Structure 1
Amino acid sequence: MKQQQNFTPLLKVSLLALLLAFTACSSDDTNTSEDTSEEETTDESTIDTNSYILVADTNSQGAYIINHDGDQLFSWKFDRDLGNDVNLLDDGSLVVCLKADNAGITLGGYGGIMRKINVDQSIEWEVSYSSGDDYMAHHDVEYLSNGNIIFPVWEKITADEAAELGFSENYDIFPEAIIEMNPLTEEIVWEWHVTDHVIQNHDASKENFGVVVEHPNKVDINYNSSQTNGDLMHFNGLTLDETNDVLYITVNNYSEVWVLDHSTTTEEASTSTGGNYNLGGDLVYRYGNPLAYDNVGEVTLNNVHYPNLLTTGNMIVFANDIYDNQSEVVEYKLNPPYELNAGEDNEPEVVWSFTDPELYTAGLGSGVRMSNGNTLIAEGRDGTLWEVSASGEVLWQNTDYNTTWRAYAFTVDAPAILALGL
């Protein structure tokens, strides 16, 4: 078994504190088991044999339930490429993102099709959200308790339209939107568009001109203006906290996590008023890279994937390149209700992290908490799966897959696992 070669440079708590923190951690995402109580979660520096692993393999057009021996206990084979996420629900059905045919927007991670697949592999429903080079659903989909789905979308803005937003360069761009849809009726029930919430200090003749640092709830449209393919922000993951009605988004090309108020109406989401925070669709919080809004504080992310909200209220994210060609899994302590203050350090506390000289993927990647407090890591483009203890010991690896979008852990008695007959 491969052992960790060094402790992470960002570990800021003692081993005792880590063990205590992990005793209370278990994942809250719909893709991970919710059956393990906090009292049952302990770190014994052994692999979590009480869990099976769901692997989304973008290289093989498939998804797989495996055990720690690498045996494939259940599998799904798709008739098209992943685009990219899979959600295993309690009834054993799978909601999956797939790539559309003849797509007009083919930036990395494009999808366009969302499909729900029953245990017997029949298709319950399928919806499409793509239109030539005008818009394209991509990367992620969340299945909500009300049966709706929510997903990120690229929207094409021509160079002329971008200039009206104060964009400093002369090319088409693809800023982000969020769509919530009833998949049975295909009705859009909520939407948000970043273009309603941008600030810039390039063109004083535009209404959104201002001093970036004085508007932390707005998005500097020129922060990543050198991204010549127009994919300025590159959302790649979202998680809706339905209890607090806030939406977390990993923004890869800004190296941040953004937080939106989902309690707004669609009309309010296009403004800066309304909702529980009375900020409309402006950001209620952001963290990971204060340089993105000219602010102070420690930079802890450089590219980022998967905002995994834990039942403790903490969040795990996968930092792709926080070190030189080395990735890291980072856990933050979050403290809602949120505030963003201009010119002040708004960054949350890092309470745990793991890195290793052999852990690196420029894209993709995930980290989830397992039932015994270990952390399961998917190394994205390398494909390696890692299981590490709270103290940073590498306990298990699997190299059977070439490109893993994410990996999720389920206890062996989780409803989804039982529904699959495992």
Structure 2
Amino acid sequence: MMKKRTHLKILLQALLITALITFSACSSDSETSSSATDENTSEEESIDTNSYILVADTNSNGAYLINHDGDQLFSWEFDRSLGNDVNLLDDGSLVVCLKADNAGITFGGYGGMFRKINAYQSIDWEVSYTSGDEYMAHHDVEYLSNGNIIFPVWEKVTASEAAELGFSENNDIFPDAIVEMNPLTEEIIWEWHVTDHLVQNHDASKENFGVVVDHPNKVDINYNSSQANGDLMHFNGLTLDETNDILYITVNNYSEVWVLDHSTTTEEASTSTGGNYNLGGDLVYRFGNPLAYDNVGEVTLKNVHYPNLIETGNMIVYANDIYDNQSEVVEYELNPPYELVAGEDNEPEVVWSFTDAELYSSGLGSGVRMSNGNTLIAEGRDGTIWEVTASGEVLWQNTDYTTVWRAYAYAIDDSAVLALGL
């Protein structure tokens, strides 16, 4: 049983209410007493106690479903290190990223193995996507309605191969790709590679040479060329909007969210034509850091995690370092279908944000909208979990964990929760 915690603010309010009630009793002013008590009840009810919280704890290599008292209602303990993400499905199964044995690419967030654990804690399937130092699945996985999984991959490109792509430095690089797999057959259903969609203004002898700002749908391979370890982009989260067949990716080292057309075939995804947008695998949209393609507009992200598409169609992301050693959770209003216009401000409107002098995680982190409109925040490397109101009031915190990849909220009557027998 975890230690129960109550936010200091609520405790202070309770003490204040007690004082008011005592004063009211002495003055026989029952109206004042009733009003004060109702206000306190309303404040306590604004905590979303109708939700449980799923915590992915990379320090303990486990996942835990907890309530607001910190009680562990259900737990999963893994026999190997967590490769970051966990997905709780409607039938109570958990799809989890784990670290593969003998990994050759070991940047922060590497994984390589995926496992589906059913509600009875036995393994339904397990697949790997790793090959020495040639490629490695990492960070995130999304379980799709068709039973496929989709995840980011690092791919090794040697220094000589990178030079042919117009890379300005002389070292191996590890640009990202996206793979969709049927985990039962291990068939690759769809794939996308950033190396097919590059622009650069370094080497005029290469086919992808061009003016970066004139090609907003392409990726400047040299934007982060000084990254010594070659992990240029560092994808760390993805979300597939299955209704619109659009894929969102948080690109940490470019401080952007990239948007891809998932309606393409794999062949089309390697070109600049085809799909619903007729852009092939080129970016259909991007936002957060227009400097990444020499464009105009406000920079609203500096490092970023988890592209959380919420029910309204807006997106919440965790901006790790936007205020220099201070994080922010940002909500953007999104309006597909998308368009990128060269040299014009393409940034979406920020409609809500939360920051605090005590909120900071240089990596990891998430923000999700709860059933009552509050926002649940995982302060990744600090481990603190926050619940805040729309007005930015901090209602609740949990400090039982040291390193939290993400924290997800589930209604207590959600089918996934009920399938666990809770």
Q: TM-score, normalised by structure 1?
A: 0.90
Query: Which protein is bigger by CA-based radius of gyration?
Result: 2
Ranges in structure 1 where 5+ consecutive residues have no aligned partner:
5-41
Counterpart CA distance in 1 for 2:114 and 2:354 is: 33
Q: CA deviation at 1:149?
A: 0.2
Give a deviation string over 1:47-82, Cα, whole Å, max 9, x none.
100000000000001000000000000000000011
Count of residues paired in the alignment = 385
> CA 1:284–1:44 in 2, change beyond 3 Å: closer, same or farther?
farther
Which residue number corresponds to residue 328 of structure 2? 328
Which residue number corresponds to residue 133 of structure 2? 133
Q: State the one-letter code of the partner of 2:70.
A: G
Which residue number corresponds to residue 227 of structure 2? 227
Alignment partner of 1:269 is 2:261: no
Which residue number corresponds to residue 401 of structure 2? 401
Q: How does 1:385-400 map to 2 (within 5 A)?
A: 385-400=385-400
Give a deviation string over 1:267-304, Cα, whole Å, max 9, x none.
00000000000000000000000000000000000000
Which residue number corresponds to residue 367 of structure 1? 367
Question: Which gives a bigger RCO, structure 1 or 2 (Cα 8 Å, sep 6+)?
Answer: 1
> CA 1:173–1:89 in 2, change beyond 3 Å: closer, same or farther?
same
The answer to whether the 8 A contact 1:148-1:182 is kept is yes
Counterpart CA distance in 1 for 2:71 and 2:200 is: 52
Counterpart CA distance in 1 for 2:404 and 2:421 is: 24
Counterpart CA distance in 2 for 1:116 and 1:349 is: 38
Ranges in structure 2 where 5+ consecutive residues have no aligned partner:
1-6, 11-41
Which residue number corresponds to residue 104 of structure 2? 104
Counterpart CA distance in 2 for 1:280 and 1:43 is: 50
Q: CA RMSD in A?
A: 1.3
The answer to whether the 8 A contact 1:305-1:319 is kept is yes
Which residue number corresponds to residue 170 of structure 2? 170
Q: CA deviation at 1:44?
A: 8.7
Counterpart CA distance in 2 for 1:336 and 1:413 is: 32
Counterpart CA distance in 2 for 1:2 and 1:381 is: 22
Q: CA deviation at 1:97?
A: 0.1
Which residue number corresponds to residue 281 of structure 2? 281
Which residue number corresponds to residue 35 of structure 2? none
Q: CA deviation at 1:43?
A: 10
Which residue number corresponds to residue 352 of structure 1? 352
Which residue number corresponds to residue 181 of structure 1? 181
Q: CA deviation at 1:45?
A: 7.2
Q: CA deviation at 1:120?
A: 1.0
Which residue number corresponds to residue 380 of structure 1? 380
Which residue number corresponds to residue 198 of structure 1? 198
Counterpart CA distance in 2 for 1:184 and 1:386 is: 37
Alignment partner of 1:65 is 2:56: no
Give a deviation string over 1:184-215, Cα, whole Å, max 9, x none.
00000000000000000000000000000000
Counterpart CA distance in 2 for 1:51 and 1:69 is: 12
Q: CA deviation at 1:343?
A: 0.0
Q: How does 1:115-154 map to 2 (within 5 A)?
A: 115-154=115-154
Q: State the one-letter code of the partner of 1:199.
A: V
Q: State the one-letter code of the partner of 2:392.
A: G
Counterpart CA distance in 2 for 1:256 and 1:81 is: 28
The answer to whether the 8 A contact 1:83-1:138 is kept is yes
The answer to whether the 8 A contact 1:381-1:402 is kept is yes
Which residue number corresponds to residue 241 of structure 1? 241
The answer to whether the 8 A contact 1:157-1:174 is kept is yes
Counterpart CA distance in 2 for 1:312 and 1:381 is: 29
Which residue number corresponds to residue 23 of structure 2? none
The answer to whether the 8 A contact 1:3-1:393 is kept is no
The answer to whether the 8 A contact 1:141-1:151 is kept is yes
Counterpart CA distance in 1 for 2:278 and 2:8 is: 50
Which residue number corresponds to residue 301 of structure 2? 301
Moved over 4 A (4+): 42-45
* Higher fraction of helix: 2
